[in-house]
Structure 1
């Protein structure tokens, strides 16, 4: 499996790559630091997975396409393969661990893997922040008048 990570932030690219490799150990990952570079790579190779930071500074860079045209191009390319998910990622610092937030997960782990429940509790106490993922695929597709492929 091959992936492309398009982001102007070195730190963001590293984090995304870390998540992809953890989920798919055999994945081959290419990187692009700009939208121009990303479009060039998409046109040169087939990717089963690609991530794009749609809020990159500088918009579409020095290409002729407007920023919205570039977004539409990337969305249509993904939609053709019927593998499009547009997620908004919001990070929040964690002020204090609240066990109630994870009570269902801890209960499940305690029942089926009690030896791992204590380890999970220890790791939860050390958390520094929380990611919230919001699926905004339909909103994004409708903005560019793209119907989701079935």
Structure 2
């Protein structure tokens, strides 16, 4: 199907929100995490179907919010149904949950450190995409350190 593709597929990270979903992806060699895009939550299924038809994806990481006491946050009430449907739609896809407690704060700090203006930092879509990238980077570091 994709003769130019290498044997490895990408890893896709999803920062799932009520209104928007931030997405990040690795390169095919799974070395670098890159911000991909942000889509409206109601457009996510179409986006995923289209993306999976064009790219080889080995695994999907979903940011799973926990409270400081490590209990799931209220956000899981809308994330859990998404996870359930994802497993039903893509049963062959390896799915991992990654703690995303501080990613929005880290994304915001990354924007400040990168010189993004105050107006730019109010761009929630950018924050979501950077959050997804941080989730993916954290996952990849954890995976590397476990070998």
Q: With structure 2 as the length reference, what TM-score do the two structures score?
A: 0.33
TM-score by length of 1: 0.32
| Larger relative contact order, structure 1 or 2 (CA cutoff 8 Å, min sep 6) | 2
